[in-house]
Amino acid sequence: MTDRTTAKRVAGEAAVEAIDDESVVGLGSGSTAATAITALGERVAAGLAVRGVPTSWQARQRAREAGIPLTDLDADRVDIAIDGADQVAPTALLKGGGGAHVREKIVDSDAERFLVVVDDSKVVDAIDQPVPLAVLPEARRPVADAIAALGGAAETRMATRRDGPVLTDDGAIVVDAAFGVIDDPAALATELSAIPGVVGHGLFVDAADAVYVGSADGSVAVCDR
């Protein structure tokens, strides 16, 4: 097991301890959130009564395998969501490495409490990785032009196992928009949301209630936000 794997697992397991009986739980996407789904499945097997709301096809499959009963946002409000992130800065998260950021934002923002689980390599002073966008396919070129007008550079994320772009669970293409170091994530988030054809973006501003940061030595730092 790699150091990074241990760090992710302990963060996921620690966050799952915060889930109360009878909760509706947002189930995040990605490898770190997967450790929380596994740990939650173990608590369900031990008698915890919860219902999960998956943030992606992947999360749904993992939850089924873990034995977690599922519900949806029509039927239930989310009490607590646990999700990963690609970067964690003081006032914002970057998400969408797996292209699930639109559904993740819907579920995570519906939650009464949103817990982020990361290994310690994800904590940064400022977000500097490209921002994933979910874009309607017809809007690819106009969105790229709008990103350029904001001083960024847009690159369509291509699939590795087939010819064509990466598609989200909802059929949007994923465009990664590079801006270098993002000094004002709130302002950029507003600008990205206003671009026609952008279904959603991976900047989550002031969204987390707590961040669980796992380390390779098995320790977890919990940072309330």
Q: Which residues are annotated as a binding site for substrate?
A: 29-32, 83-86, 95-98, 122
The residue from 52, 54, 99, 200 that contacts ligand 5RP (CB under 6 A) is 99
E strands present in 75-219: 80-83, 87-88, 92-94, 113-119, 131-135, 153-156, 173-178, 198-201, 203-205, 210-214
Bridge-partner residues for 200, per DSSP?
134
19 versus 33: smaller Cβ distance to ligand 5RP: 33
**CA distance between the termini of the chain:** 31
CA atoms within 13 A on the CB side of 214: 25
- CA–CA gap between residue 102 and residue 119 (Å, rounded): 22
- CA–CA gap between residue 203 and residue 210 (Å, rounded): 16
The residue from 79, 86, 120, 176 that contacts ligand 5RP (CB under 6 A) is 86
The residue from 13, 23, 27, 30 that contacts ligand 5RP (CB under 6 A) is 30
Bridge-partner residues for 8, per DSSP?
none
Size of residue set near ligand 5RP by CB under 6 A: 18
Asked whether position 139 contacts ligand 5RP by CB under 6 A, the answer is: no
Would you please indicate which residues are annotated as catalytic (active-site) residues?
104
Interface of this chain with ligand 5RP, residues 193 to 212, rule: CB under 6 A = none
What is the nearest approach in angstroms of ligand 5RP to the Cβ of residue 113? Answer: 17
Asked whether position 54 contacts ligand 5RP by CB under 6 A, the answer is: no
7 versus 147: smaller Cβ distance to ligand 5RP: 7
- Angle at 157 (CA atoms; ends 179, 7), nearest 5 degrees: 75
Asked whether position 79 contacts ligand 5RP by CB under 6 A, the answer is: no
- Identify the three-state secondary structure at position 202: coil
Asked whether position 41 contacts ligand 5RP by CB under 6 A, the answer is: no
48 versus 59: smaller Cβ distance to ligand 5RP: 59
**Residues in the site for ligand 5RP, rule: CB under 6 A?**
28-33, 83-86, 95-101, 104
